[in-house]
Amino acid sequence: MLESLAKRLGLRTNPTIFFVSAGLMILFLLLLLAFPAQIGTVFGTGREWIVTNLGWFFIVGVTAWLLFLAYVALSRYGHLRLGADDSRPEYSNLSWFAMLFAGGIGTILMFWGVAEPISHFSNPPFAGVDPHSAQAAQDAMSISLYHLSLHTWAIFTLPGLAFGYFVYRFKLPLRVSSVFYPFLKERIHGPIGKAIDVFAVIGTLFGLAVSLGLGTSQVGAGLHALVPAIPNGTGTRLAVITVLTAVAVASIVAGLDKGVKRLSNINILMAVGLMLFVLFSGETVFLLRQIIESAGQYAQDLPRLAFWNDAMAQFTKEGGWGWSGDWTVFYWAWTVTWAPFMGVFLARISRGRTIRQFVLGVLVAPSVFTLVWFAIFGWSAMELDGIGSDGGPISAAVDESVPLAMFEFFSNFPAATLIQGIAVVVVALFFATSSDSASLVVDMLCVGTTDAGPTRQRVFWGVSEGFLAASLIWLGGDEGLAALQQVITVIGLPIFILVFLMVFALIKGLGQERKKALALKFEGVDLGRRTDSGPPPTREPAARREE
């Protein structure tokens, strides 16, 4: 029945995954609109239980992923390509970096670049640290980098590596279920595999809705700062999300190469220009010194932060789960809902790269950019707010409304109105690139290949994402987003477990490749010759493989 319906609608997709995902999304949205308070209570209780009892699991889990990825990249498997041994990357390094960054956390860096360092600067999480002190500033920078550099990109890199490895070397469908082929074998095509894929689609849609809501609130705040006559309310946000969804849909129709690639390149250039303006218009020498010092401070603090889960909170703070539950656990639960989207997207644009190139590129390049971004924006904001003082206007803006922080910050620079306008455009473009990238990936998850589905199919997901975020804004603005944040933490747990299982799938898959190479070598078979099944043998000399 579903297949005949898909044919009548002119769709080219897996009918079960497409219609079940769409139906569950619509059903959940209707329930959220009809019973926001009740759903908020249920998921609020679920979130409290998760962060109190399993917060440590999120924190140690992401750290374990980061260590595993470093091991794989530097191991004997690092030379294997995501694809045939003779395949080469489709995109230049610059375009590749721009797409993975803009499709990843560009919106979040714009949103938190000033707000997060100022938040920890004003309210230090560690006992004995005075607000607005030099120590509070150093801790704030290390914490911000911990949340949005290596650990965040480890959450994206692990599924990206798993997808690229199993899809391209085992020639499996481009779906989350394919990663579990070592365990499920042909059952990835059955009910279990389809259930995994449906859940991945739902998690991606709702995870993206949180980010789009944050981006829209910041664009609305920026427009209000530029033109006070424009109210910073629900109507403005709905208008913003309507316009930007239309831009995203236009990019979706254009496709990955013409749409997403072009928007990503424009976006990253504008963001870099904005960052350089702050660097050279502010305390340039101070900021250059802080880039270097912040890197060392982050490296020094990382071992402590990577395992710190605020275990003493129950004795010293109110709320049960403490600071790490409100910040780190929520970050990881939220970010992991993006893991299927970013994993498939990274695999799609990284075919032909070696495992070593992929892991080091995806982990290191965006993390270095994040370090420079936070050092420039964060330290500029804390310096303007007054290190050693009782706080300033930027802290007050964060307390009033987080989306206002960036625009209060820019009011201290020359040509403030122009720069605030550029910032609005950058946030808007990040919004559009995240939306169109996610729409294309959700469509790929349903189709099962890297080939784009029919235009109407891709547009459906783009419009659905915009409508989902718009409905939450219409429902109650910040209250609607707060309710979704509760949902995201709960949805994040099973997705987190799925991603954790990808570690073991990769271990088994790479082990099979090693055994195959050794067997071929023992039998005297030409290791450069492709085989009909399983991962292709490597063309590397035997001596190289044994290193």
Higher pLDDT, 368 or 44: 368
Tens-digit pLDDT profile for residues 267-321: 778 888 999 999 999 999 999 999 999 999 999 999 999 999 887 776 665 555 6
Give me the residues paired with residue 81 across strands.
354
* Mean pLDDT score, 467-495: 72
Q: Is residue 537 within 8 Å of residue 517, measured between CB atoms?
A: yes
Query: How confident is the model at residue 540, as a pLDDT?
Result: 37
DSSP string over 310-366: -TTHHHHSSSSSHHHIIIIIHHHHHHHHTHHHHHHHHHHH-TT-BHHHHHHHHHHHH
- Is pLDDT of 258 > 50? yes
The ranges assigned to domains in the chain are 2-497
Query: How confident is the model at residue 528, as a pLDDT?
Result: 43
Q: Is residue 338 within 8 Å of residue 154, measured between CB atoms?
A: no
Amino acid letter, residue 260: V
Query: How confident is the model at residue 499, as a pLDDT?
Result: 94
**What does the alpha-carbon distance between residue 475 and residue 465 come to, in Å, rounded to a whole number?**
15
Amino acid letter, residue 395: S
Residue 431 vs residues 138, 269, 330, 425, 487: alpha-carbon distances, Å: 30, 15, 21, 10, 21
Query: How confident is the model at residue 471, as a pLDDT?
Result: 78
Lowest mean pLDDT among 155-169, 333-347, 354-368: 333-347
Collapse the DSSP code of 47 into the 3-class scheme (helix H, G, I; strand E, B; otherwise coil) and give the result. Answer: helix
Query: How confident is the model at residue 546, as a pLDDT?
Result: 32
**What does the alpha-carbon distance between residue 317 and residue 47 come to, in Å, rounded to a whole number?**
18
DSSP string over 133-148: SHHHHHHHHHHHHHHH
Higher pLDDT, 411 or 325: 411
Query: How confident is the model at residue 104, as a pLDDT?
Result: 55
**What does the alpha-carbon distance between residue 160 and residue 348 come to, in Å, rounded to a whole number?**
9
**What does the alpha-carbon distance between residue 255 and residue 247 come to, in Å, rounded to a whole number?**
13
Residue 129 dihedral angles phi and psi, to the nearest 5°: -100, 125
**What does the alpha-carbon distance between residue 90 and residue 482 come to, in Å, rounded to a whole number?**
40
Query: How confident is the model at residue 541, as a pLDDT?
Result: 37
Residue 321 tokens read as: 């789960």
**What does the alpha-carbon distance between residue 254 and residue 56 come to, in Å, rounded to a whole number?**
43
pLDDT band at 441 (very low <50, low <70, confident <90, very high): confident
Query: How confident is the model at residue 1, as a pLDDT?
Result: 76
Tens-digit pLDDT profile for residues 163-178: 999 999 888 988 899 9
Tens-digit pLDDT profile for residues 513-544: 777 766 656 665 444 444 444 544 443 333 33
* Mean pLDDT score, 75-100: 84
**What does the alpha-carbon distance between residue 427 and residue 220 come to, in Å, rounded to a whole number?**
10
Q: Say which DSSP state 81 is in.
A: B
Query: How confident is the model at residue 533, as a pLDDT?
Result: 44
Residue 5 tokens read as: 């319906």
Q: Is residue 306 within 8 Å of residue 53, measured between CB atoms?
A: no
Q: Does CATH place domain 2-497 in 3.40.50?
A: no
Rounded percentage of the chain residues whose pLDDT exceeds 90: 36
Tens-digit pLDDT profile for residues 199-239: 888 888 877 777 777 778 778 888 887 888 888 777 888 88
Mean pLDDT of the chain: 83
Residue 254 vs residues 8, 449, 455: alpha-carbon distances, Å: 24, 18, 9
Query: How confident is the model at residue 507, as a pLDDT?
Result: 94
Q: What angle do CA 12, 88, 351 make, to 5 degrees?
A: 40
Higher pLDDT, 521 or 472: 472
Query: How confident is the model at residue 479, as a pLDDT?
Result: 56
Lowest mean pLDDT among 96-100, 172-176, 367-371, 456-460: 96-100
* Mean pLDDT score, 65-86: 92
Burial (0-12, 13-18, 19+ Cβ within 10 Å), 487: buried
Residues 6+ apart with CB under 8 A from 17: 175, 194, 197, 198, 201, 445, 446
Query: How confident is the model at residue 284, as a pLDDT?
Result: 95
- Is pLDDT of 260 > 60? no
- Is pLDDT of 462 > 50? yes
Give me the residues paired with residue 354 across strands.
81
Query: How confident is the model at residue 544, as a pLDDT?
Result: 34
Query: How confident is the model at residue 269, as a pLDDT?
Result: 80
Query: How confident is the model at residue 522, as a pLDDT?
Result: 60
Q: Is residue 157 within 8 Å of residue 359, measured between CB atoms?
A: yes
